[in-house]
Amino acid sequence: MSNNSNKGFFDRVMLLDRRWVFLVLAVVVVSTYYIPMNVPVPASREVQTIFDAIEGLEEGQKILLAIDYDPNALAELHPMTYVIMEQCFRKKVGVIITSLSQNGPGMAEQAILDIVDSTALPKTYNGVSYPGREIVNGVDYAFLGYRAYFELVITGMGQNFRTFFSRDYYDVLLDSLPIMKDVQNYDDIEMVIDISGSNVVDAWIKYAAARYDVKLALGLTGVMTADYYPYLGSGRVFGLMGGLLGAAEYERLADNPGLAMDGMKVQVWAHLTIIAFIIIANIGYFGSHKKRGL
Amino acid sequence: MNPVMELGDYLWMTFAAFLTLATFSFLYKDNPLYKIAEHLVVGVSAGYFVIILYYGSLKTQLVEKLYDGQMVYLIPLILGVLMWTRFSKKLAWVSRYPIAIYIGIATGLAIPLEMQTKVTEQLQAMMVELHWGNLFDGGLLNYTNSFASLIIIIGSLAALIYFYFSKEHKGWFGGVATVGIWTLMLGFGASFGFTVMARISLLINRVQFLDQWRITSVGSAHQEGSGSYTAVYILILVGIFGLLAFDLIRTKGKTDTDLT
């Protein structure tokens, strides 16, 4: 058992109970959440390319939106799904939705229901007024659901969506859905946007982008983002949204501020707090070492 | 979102808010409320996955096809059943056959594409054309184009040299290796920054959810007694923070490691 009473300032800093860090961070996050404040979120090139690609689509064209994350990644990835889905529905771009993560169908269904409600209301984005309209399952979107062994499913969809998805999530025959009428495989869609919090993204890169030359963009959790930048450099993916920042950038571009933009002001203060803790810890580390002549 | 919702939905939302707070209670210390939340996550996830797996894959991809008379699907069925022989010490060797087939197919599919995406294309991406004339843009370094390319080339080569162990890292070779490790550190720093952002995002999301729960609670009361709902919310937050602060002050001189 240690006793801090005989220790100097630097030693006490080194022995700081980590729960102080939790407490200070919690107080900072909660308090700054309620302070009205705007932080600038300039869009990066890799997010701008995704936005431009979807914005450039015409009515009736189709994309595949892969919702490959579980509730544990909801905080970062749900805002991406919401903003992209709404952008597509507003522009009358068909959305084919798959969910190859185990608990992903629930995420996808929640997003669909919320965006269907949202699109029913008239809105103005980037100066363009969109009237509210009813989004119809099978016409405006198709939710294909989950299939096990995502590598094989992604490969199989390159030949025909019906190989693995003869029926959609609601047990309706794919052939009876108007949106799927002219869709056989990846050749019949404009791009794939994979919003992923797991290694399903590797399969999309390999088995869809590399094997079938599918135009692929990614929305990833912050933890994963740095690992996938090389694919942006090699051109295998054309856009990348990283974590809450990527989602906030997209929301700003789409002029549709949501939970991500809302969270960025808190991020700024939380990061400043963590930087302060890192500096204090380093002062303690070097100070205590110097004192001992190490 | 309409703050007024069905009573059933509101009760579920309240239960989720309770589970959120129960999970965060682990920061104080391990306790039965946290255990309840933890076990619920594991149990519900497993149960949900079993149902999704059956209706999403086994039913549509196997059972229905066999009912349709497509007997070729007996092969994956048999291979799948053979996997279960792992539970018998006597017959466990049989499970190696389906595993061998699965690994064979997966490897055959993956290796060429792994080489393509992770080696060949990454090498190509490194072989960029440098435009020395464009190194500066308006008197500043053109970090979006030529200067970025230069950094990629120097950084990649230096990092590769750092992992070359057949020559001692001394002299100019050691200098380049040092540049390599700095490049790696920059990469790790970027990953750490993104990771911090990710973890904070989770906390922010829970705060947003709890606030949404508060707003919904106010809405559910149709404005009557809305002040008391907000007061309860503030009391919960102050209570949690206060309890943690009190315990930290009470156990002054002991680290959390000592306490556990």
Chain B residues closer than 8 Å to A1 by CB: 254, 258
Q: How far off is chain B from A281, nearest CA to CA, in Å?
A: 15
Kindly tell me if the per-residue pLDDT of A40 is higher than 80. yes
CA dihedral sign, ordered B144, B146, B151, B153: positive
Tell me how far CA of residue B215 lies from CA of B6, B129, B226, B227, in angstroms.
14, 56, 9, 11
pLDDT score recorded for residue A2: 47
Q: Which of B106, B125, B208 is the closest to A151 by Cβ?
A: B106
Kindly tell me if the per-residue pLDDT of B226 is higher than 60. no
Same domain, A16 and A60: no
Tell me how far CA of residue A30 lies from CA of A71, A142, A158, A274, B241, in angstroms.
22, 39, 46, 15, 11
Tell me if chain B has a CB within 8 Å of the CB of A232: no
Same domain, A236 and A286: no
pLDDT score recorded for residue B260: 45
Kindly tell me if the per-residue pLDDT of B250 is higher than 80. no
Kindly tell me if the per-residue pLDDT of A10 is higher than 80. no
pLDDT score recorded for residue B229: 64
Residue at A1 is within a domain? no
Same domain, A70 and A181: yes
Q: Which of B187, B244, B253 is the closest to A19 by Cβ?
A: B244
Across the range A105-123, mean pLDDT stands at 94
Residue at A262 is within a domain? no
Same domain, A89 and A191: yes
pLDDT score recorded for residue B141: 61
Q: How far off is chain B from A216, nearest CA to CA, in Å?
A: 13
pLDDT score recorded for residue A271: 93
Q: How far off is chain A from B198, nearest CA to CA, in Å?
A: 5
Residue at A276 is within a domain? yes
So what's the ipTM on this one? Answer: 0.88
More confident residue, B122 or B250: B122
User: SS3 for A54?
Assistant: helix
Kindly tell me if the per-residue pLDDT of B257 is higher than 70. no
Query: Which of B145, B204, B233 to mutate to test binding with chain A, by most A CBs within 10 Å of its CB?
Result: B204
Same domain, A64 and A204: yes
Residue at A144 is within a domain? yes
Q: Which of B106, B197, B252 is the closest to A243 by Cβ?
A: B197
Kindly tell me if the per-residue pLDDT of B143 is higher than 50. yes
Same domain, A160 and A284: no
For residue A80, the Cα-to-chain-centroid distance in whole angstroms is 4
Residue at A201 is within a domain? yes
pLDDT score recorded for residue B248: 74
pLDDT score recorded for residue B4: 53
Kindly tell me if the per-residue pLDDT of B230 is higher than 80. no
Answer whether B255's CB lies under 8 Å from A17's CB.
yes
Q: Do B122 and A205 touch (CB under 8 A)?
A: no
pLDDT digits (tens, 9 = 90+) for A125-159: 999 999 999 999 999 999 999 998 899 999 999 99
Q: Which of B121, B256, B258 is the closest to A236 by Cβ?
A: B121
Kindly tell me if the per-residue pLDDT of A102 is higher than 90. no
pLDDT score recorded for residue B1: 43
pLDDT score recorded for residue A1: 44
Range of the domain at A97: 45-257
According to DSSP H, which parts of A148-213 are helical? Answer: 150-157, 200-203, 211-212
pLDDT digits (tens, 9 = 90+) for B89-113: 899 999 999 999 999 998 998 999 9
Q: Do B201 and A244 touch (CB under 8 A)?
A: yes
Residue at A179 is within a domain? yes
Residue B228 pLDDT level (bands cut at 50, 70, 90): low
> What is the count of structural domains for chain A?
2
Q: A111: domain CATH number?
A: 3.40.50
Radius of gyration of chain A (CA): 23
Same domain, A67 and A191: yes
Residue at A80 is within a domain? yes
Total number of residues shown for chain A: 294
DSSP state of B4: -
Across the range A163-183, mean pLDDT stands at 93
According to DSSP H, which parts of chain B are helical? Answer: 7-24, 32-53, 64-67, 74-83, 96-115, 121-126, 146-162, 171-220, 226-250, 256-259
Same domain, A193 and A277: no
Question: What is the residue-averaged pLDDT of chain A?
Answer: 91
Q: Do A147 and B198 touch (CB under 8 A)?
A: no
Same domain, A202 and A56: yes
CA dihedral sign, ordered B129, B131, B132, B135: negative
Same domain, A73 and A126: yes
Across the range B54-62, mean pLDDT stands at 87
User: Residues 6 or more apart from B87 whose CB is under 8 A from it?
Assistant: none
Same domain, A280 and A135: no
Same domain, A211 and A92: yes
Instruction: Name residues 237-276 of chain A within 8 A of B (Cβ).
Output: 242-245, 259, 262-263, 266-267, 270-271, 274
Residue at A2 is within a domain? no
pLDDT score recorded for residue A252: 95
Residue B259 pLDDT level (bands cut at 50, 70, 90): very low
pLDDT score recorded for residue B256: 53
Q: Do A19 and B205 touch (CB under 8 A)?
A: no
Q: Do B61 and A164 touch (CB under 8 A)?
A: yes
Across the range A272-285, mean pLDDT stands at 91
Measured from the Cβ of residue A138, the count of other Cβ atoms closer than 10 Å reads 16
Across the range B110-121, mean pLDDT stands at 92
Across the range B10-38, mean pLDDT stands at 88
Segment among A198-212, B3-17, B27-41 with least mean pLDDT: B3-17
Residue B25 pLDDT level (bands cut at 50, 70, 90): confident
